[in-house]
Amino acid sequence: MKRAAIYVRVSTLDQHPETQLMELRALAIQRGYEVVAEYTDHGFSGAQVKRPGLDQLLLAVRHARVDVVLVWACDRLARSTRHFLEVLDEFNRLRVEFVSLRENIDTGGPLGRALITIIGAIAELERSLIIERVRAGMRRAKLEGRHVGRKPLIVDRMIINLDRDRGLSLAEIAHKHGVSRSTVARILKQTPGPAPPPRPADRMDLAS
């Protein structure tokens, strides 16, 4: 009986991996595999190469603890063609089979090995198209005069300097204006004229 490892990934915290797990467990039973491990990455993008669950899966593969890896879809494993093929190449070198439920791919056969490169290229193309649509939307927003990205931070530099003259510490000023202590320090440093010596509370703030 082949030892199988199940790997699932969901990109947002409000998604649940249980659906993928149930279908992959059923696939393992259908094929007569023994599921020896299940690895989950919750809230991770497929574009991220380093993922806790994936790292544990690769460690198990390298230590010859599994014979086959089951995933719900190829993009659950990786989104970039390069990373996808690197992982599959390692599986092949270590004689570990790869099975994707959605694409019905099994690298245990010659057809599955041939399709791997094609599927990986399609996954990367899909991701590139999504990124280009986002960029096109941002360019259109700029042309229409709409703000794109994070709103600029608006602070009253004069009031910050007045608060400083009144004896407030960096932490107190930062809390009052809703900014970080480093922002307050930078504003005070940019103010013309000699900067007042740091107060004891400031030293504690900056050291913490």
Per-residue pLDDT at 104: 85
- Give the pLDDT confidence of 88-133 residue by residue, as tens digits: 878 888 989 999 999 888 887 777 777 766 766 776 777 788 888 8
Which tops the pLDDT comparison, 49 or 112? 49
Rounded to the nearest integer, the mean pLDDT of the chain is 82
- 65 pLDDT band, cuts 50/70/90, is very high
Per-residue pLDDT at 188: 86
42 burial level (CB within 10 Å; 0-12, 13-18, 19+): middle
Which tops the pLDDT comparison, 138 or 207? 138
State the Cα–Cα distance between residues 174 and 155, nearest whole angstrom: 10
Catalytic site residue from 11, 100, 169, 182: 11
Per-residue pLDDT at 49: 82
Which tops the pLDDT comparison, 157 or 188? 188
Q: How many CB atoms lie within 10 A of CB 17?
A: 20
The verdict on pTM exceeding 0.85 is no
Is 11 tagged catalytic? Answer: yes
- 33 pLDDT band, cuts 50/70/90, is very high
- Give the pLDDT confidence of 131-168 residue by residue, as tens digits: 888 888 888 888 877 766 665 566 677 888 888 888 88
Per-residue pLDDT at 8: 95
Structural domains in the chain plus CATH codes? 3-127 (3.40.50.1390), 157-207 (no CATH)
